[in-house]
Amino acid sequence: MEREGRCLYEVLGVEKDASQEDIKKAFRKLALRLHPDKNPGDEDSSKFQSLQRIYAVLSDPERRKVYDQTGSLDDSEQLVGEDFDNLYNYFRNIYKEVTEDDIDGFAAGFRGSQEESEEVLQYYERFRGDMRQVFDWVMCSEEKKDAHRFRDIILAAVEEGRVKLFKPFKPWSEKVAKQPRPKNPLAKKKNTSKAEGSDQQLIAQIRGAGASRMDSAFAKLEAKYCKPGAKGKRKGKDAELTEEDFAKAQQKVQSRKEKNTVPLAEKPKKKRIGK
């Protein structure tokens, strides 16, 4: 039933993202057509058994997931449930869990090594000088940090005659040559927690500078508008205005309003020009 080159979804005649209901309908149609009662031949009987196997996998979400990942009917039947858990635990005991520290340690040993140089040249030749794809494939590489290093590796290999100078590489190489080299491209990445701490320090400095600028502004206002020795003089950013100062301020504001306000009766009338 499952011929080489055909996946289980093709056998049922459904798409890979088919719903469980669609898979069930497709199975029923094929089951009616291939049932041994309607087709007594041995070949048809084996087809029906294969159909049952396929449906048993695709109708079970866990087995279907394994099949989608492996593409194997046998694996999807065996690597589920308790058997899968036992196999997972077996390999987990052999291979420890990979942590971020493990990845950083690997990157520190790989970057700048002979293995990295060989990988750069391998993908340089495979992609015929397309450095965008080279950086996509070389492990632990960042174009911003490693462009000059990779350029040096490739140019040295070209001079030695180990690789050809491909046309797409030339404009990229010229562009990189005009850019400043990183100071220490092989330096280890900084700890994220330390970086976050420095950010918090920067925020605190900005806030402190803002507060000092505000105090300076208050001091200038005091020097301009407050007489030396006045009772209500501001002594600090938390000093309160006295009732006496508040009353004086109200009188000043009121007097300014009265000066700037002209009663309607006293406003000069416009002269009319006679005809």
**Where are the alpha helices (H) located in 71-142, listed in sequence order?**
73-78, 81-94, 100-110, 114-126, 131-137
Q: Of the candidates 205, 181, 201, 204, which has an alpha carbon nearest to the alpha carbon of residue 193? A: 201
List, in order, residues 6 or more apart from 139 with CB less than 8 Å away: 107, 110, 116, 119
Q: What is the mean pLDDT of residues 104-112?
A: 89
- Among 30-44, 126-140, 213-227, 242-256, name the one with the lowest average pLDDT: 213-227
User: pLDDT band at residue 26, thresholds of 50, 70 and 90?
Assistant: confident
Distance CA 268, CA 31 (A): 107
Provide the residue count of the chain: 275
Give the Cα separation of 24 and 22 in Å (integer): 5
Q: What is the pLDDT of residue 200?
A: 56
pLDDT in tens, 179-193: 999 988 888 766 554
What integer pLDDT is reported at residue 120 of this predicted model? 96
Is the backbone of residue 161 left (phi > 0), alpha (psi -120 to 50) or beta? left
Cα–Cα distance for residue pair 141/153, rounded to 1 Å: 14
Instruction: Please indicate, yes or no, whether the overall pTM of this predicted structure exceeds 0.85.
Output: no
Tell me the CB-side half-sphere exposure of residue 125, using CA atoms within 13 A: 12
Q: How many CB atoms lie within 10 A of CB 90?
A: 10
CB atoms within 10 A of CB 139: 11
Mean pLDDT taken over the chain: 74
pLDDT value of position 27:
86
